[in-house]
Amino acid sequence: MTTQELLPSLEKSLGEKIQPKTEFRGETTYAIAPADLREIVKFCRYELSFDYLIDITSIDNFGEEPRFEIVYELYSMPLGVHLRLKLRISEDVGSVDTVSDIWPTANWHEREIYDMMGIKFSGHPDLRRILMWDGYPFFPLRKEFPLEGLPSDMPDVAFTKVTPMEGGPFVTKPSTATARDREPRAHPPEL
């Protein structure tokens, strides 16, 4: 199959399951329904040679419904074609099917999305937190999560209190000074 035949084949085979198409800078994005995810990605993987899952990301559209968007970045090594699939899910649903059995690398991507956004992946073989500690009650990449964090009742774990925003280790002051002068704690003093 050639690159010119690839996307028309996808559109013809899956018909209405492929929703609005967007072209930008030579990359194609399709919106899909969550219920059609498995069928579409299996077709992309096994019929169209999208053998490389580059990334899975999530977006919090706080205040909109459906609230969450999940973006799958696919690439076909044999054909050199990039494809993006987007689906939206409601906060009430909060779950989408796993693709970790189709692309094993999805395992970690899905765990990170679960850990940071709280979106569950049904059928995932090991869906547990990957960055935050077990039992952490919040999802730090959701838009309602404050930058300074939230207090936690987890004893003997770092970051159990709200972090002050002023004077933190990564806070710099705008100026024309060098980085060493703007944030002296980032560098040891010169002897």
pTM of the model: 0.79
Match 């690159």 to its residue by tokens: 3
Instruction: Give the Cβ contact number of residue 95 at 10 Å.
Output: 16
* Fold classification of 3-138 (topology level): Beta Polymerase; domain 2 (3.30.460)
**Cβ-Cβ contacts under 8 Å for 43 (sequence gap 6 or more):** 10, 13, 14
Nearest to 60 by CA among 100, 119, 111, 110: 119
Q: What is the mean pLDDT of residues 86-99?
A: 92
Confidence grade of residue 26 (pLDDT, cut at 50, 70, 90): confident
pLDDT at 166: 57
Burial class of 69 by CB neighbour count within 10 A (0 to 12, 13 to 18, 19+): middle
Q: Which amino acid is at 41?
A: V
Look at residues 26, 101, 102, 91 and name the one whose alpha carbon lies nearest to residue 59.
91
Nearest-Å Rg of the Cα atoms of the chain is 21
Top pLDDT among 191 and 110 is at 110
Q: Is 91 exposed, middle or buried (0-12, 13-18, 19+ CB in 10 A)?
A: middle
* Structure confidence by residue, pLDDT tens digits, 56-68: 999 999 999 999 9
Whether the CA torsion 6, 9, 11, 13 is positive or negative: it is negative
pLDDT of residue 20: 77
Domain boundaries, the chain: 3-138
Rounded distance between C-alpha atoms, residue 50 and residue 30, angstroms:
14
Residue 163's identity, in one-letter code, is T
pLDDT at residue 187 tops 60: no
- Is the per-residue pLDDT at 179 higher than 80? no
